[in-house]
Amino acid sequence: MLQTLSIRTRSRNESRDVTAEVEHVVRASGVTSGICYLYVPHTTAGVAINEHADPDVMADVEQALRGLVPHNAGYQHAEGNADAHIKAVMVGASQSVPIENGRLALGTWQGIFFCEFDGPRERKLRVKIMAG
C-alpha cells in the first residue's frame, strides 16, 4: 500500500511534525506488523526522526544546519538554493519505522518530521506500508 501525503510548507526552513498523518495512514492500512517506509521525492527537502515532545529541539537542529550551511557561500549551483540541496543530503530522503500492534513503533520522545529547506512549496511525502 502506497499513499502520498501533500504538505504545503510555510517558510524557507521548516520542520513539520507529520507523525499524526503517518500514523493515520498506518491505521487505515490495517497492517498490524510490518514496516512503514517514508520517502521524500524532492532534492531540497528531507525526512527526519527526532524529538517532538519539545519543539525547541527541531528549532535547534534547523539553527545548527543554517550555521553549518549558510544560504550564500559562493556555491556553483546557479539556482541560488545550493544550501537547501546540501541540507537535504545531510538529512536524507527516507526513513523506515517498524509497525507493531498496528501502530508506529516510535520511541517515547520520537516524532517524524518533514524537513523543508527551500520553501514555501507544495511538497509530497510518500508513505509505503509493507506487512511482514
* Residues 103-121: b if buried by 16+ CB within 10 A, e if exposed: ebebeeebbbbbbbbbbee
Grid cell 532534492 is found at: 43
Q: Which stretch binds Zn ion (CB under 5 A): 23-31, 61-69, 75-83, 94-102?
A: 75-83
Least Cα distance to 24 among 81, 83, 102, 91 occurs for 102
- 79 near Zn ion (CB under 5 A): yes
Shortest distance, position 70 Cβ to Zn ion, whole Å: 16
- 13 near Zn ion (CB under 5 A): no
- 81 near Zn ion (CB under 5 A): yes
The sign of the dihedral angle between the CA atoms of 76, 114, 64, 90 is negative
Q: Judged by CB, which is closer to Zn ion: 14, or 83? A: 83
Shortest distance, position 91 Cβ to Zn ion, whole Å: 16
Shortest distance, position 71 Cβ to Zn ion, whole Å: 12
Q: Judged by CB, which is closer to Zn ion: 45, or 99? A: 45
Q: Which stretch binds Zn ion (CB under 5 A): 8-16, 23-31, 72-80, 93-101?
A: 72-80
- CA separation, residue 118 to residues 36, 38, 71, 92, 102 (Å): 26, 20, 10, 15, 34
Interface positions with Zn ion (CB under 5 A):
79, 81
